[in-house]
Structure 1
Amino acid sequence: MRFLSRRLVMPNDLNYADSLFGGRALEWIDEESAIYAICQLETNCLVTKHIGEINFESPAMQGDIVEFGLETKKVGRSSITVSCLVRNKATKKTICLADDIVFVKVDPETRQPTPHGKTLEGLKEQTELEIKNLNLSN
């Protein structure tokens, strides 16, 4: 899993218990996962179809930096399924895991599903090349 993004928990992100509001975490998960899927499929014509089980394991407090780990689980004809792990940057404790987030490529005019032409193996190769080009593997 690659950790690709971070956010600072601010006062307006808190619930009544002064920890990260679950709804805000879900908003961030949907946005970060969508960005990841858009980059993987090289199209921004995606919609969120499904978000599977979400388990909240530990709180995030004001001032915490949370990071988002994303990975591709499955690739369909018009869909991509990803997982998103949210963890505390400093402690590495899992805040929550959102599994089976499904995005579907749609035609911009008809809004109907349309093939994206990608495969899981092809995306793995694409990711390896991106990492190599960024010199992150050293």
Structure 2
Amino acid sequence: MDLVSSQICKTGDIGIYNNLFGGKMLAWLDEAGGTYSASICCTPYMITLKMDEVVFKKPVKVNDHIRIYGEVSRMGNSSLTINLEARRFNFSSHK
């Protein structure tokens, strides 16, 4: 998988349980997917048709570093299917 994007979870990104808002993660994934698709197809005119499955495995806390990786799953004449994966890294605990 290719490194597509990275983000740092900031205090404005968290909810009442001190975890990253799921919607914020979805926005990061959507933006990363759009830019990755645009670079693969050499055009800025890409849209997200759908997200098949999103599984939130572990909470993201303030100052966690999120790295988003992507790979092309299928390429058609007028469509592109990609897989994205977000991985969490905490600088203080090195996990």
TM-score (norm 2): 0.91
State the SS of the aligned residue for 1:51: coil
- Give the alignment of 1:1-138 within 5 angstroms: 1-89=1-89, 90-91=94-95
% identical aligned pairs: 26
CA-CA distance at 1:10 after TM superposition? 0.4
CA-CA distance at 1:50 after TM superposition? 1.0
> Which 4+ stretches in 1 moved above 6 angstroms?
none
CA-CA distance at 1:38 after TM superposition? 0.2
State the SS of the aligned residue for 1:7: strand
Q: What RMSD in Å do the two structures reach over aligned CA positions?
A: 1.0
AA aligned to 2:70 is: L
State the SS of the aligned residue for 2:20: coil
State the SS of the aligned residue for 1:74: strand
| Number of residue-to-residue matches in the alignment | 91
State the SS of the aligned residue for 1:27: helix
State the SS of the aligned residue for 1:52: coil
CA-CA distance at 1:77 after TM superposition? 1.2
AA aligned to 1:12 is: G
Larger radius of gyration: 1
CA-CA distance at 1:4 after TM superposition? 2.8
5+ unaligned residues in a row in structure 2: which ranges?
A: none
TM-score (norm 1): 0.63
